[in-house]
Amino acid sequence: MNSNRKFRVGVLGSGKGSNFVAIAEACAAGIIPCEVGLVLSDVAEAGILEHARQRGLVAEYLSPGKFRTKLDEETEATYVARLRLAEVDLIVLAGFMRILKAGFLNAFPGRIVNIHPALLPAFPGLESWTQALDYGAKVAGCTVHFVDAGTDTGPIIGQAVVPVLDDDTPATLHERIQQAERRLYPAVVGAIAEGRITINGRRTAWRK
């Protein structure tokens, strides 16, 4: 990273972008020593793009290609090229609904993070808050992890616990998990930028 500029984050998202907003606001307020260099989405009308543009950030829609759940090789190469051109130091997945394959992962080894609305390794996959309720779990939460070739299987960086209340519905539990996400994700990104996260195999350490 060039020492003359801030640690630069590239964000990929497919939806409303609430976690992106939390990170962007933390950057703007100087809470974390980062700047958002680029926001990309596979959905032309995604709220995350509008949030980015309102903040004067570079925000682009890139066609996802021919597959429904992943990027095809040509599209993947386009995403990689745009992120490299923006000279990002870390790629943050904020509700990006595409599986990243080997070509993308190899282009940014150890530099891609994701947040999942469960206490991994419990309840990977979709609608994990509903999975937790259906299972009868007494606690739920969220996990920030490095991204690998599996689904929600990368090394865990940080977690936040949310109690499951007796009268919770999937909607109320999900909302409280999202509140925890908006606190945890910027904190993790800031810690990575400051070099306070180390990784040894599957184990990570977060120096406070």
- Using an 8 Å Cβ cutoff, are 19 and 189 in contact? no
200: helix, strand or coil? strand
CA pair distance 5, 36, nearest whole angstrom? 12
Q: Of these residues, 51, 116, 145, 174, which one is catalytic?
A: 116
CA pair distance 195, 13, nearest whole angstrom? 25
Does the annotation count 51 as an active-site position? no
CA pair distance 160, 118, nearest whole angstrom? 9
H-type helices in the chain, by residue range? 18-28, 47-54, 73-85, 102-107, 128-135, 170-193
CB atoms within 10 A of CB 19: 26
What is the SS3 string spanning 70-123?
A: ECCHHHHHHHHHHHHHCCCCEEEECCCCCECCHHHHHHCCCCEEEEECCCCCCC
CA pair distance 48, 60, nearest whole angstrom? 10
Q: Catalytic positions, please? A: 116
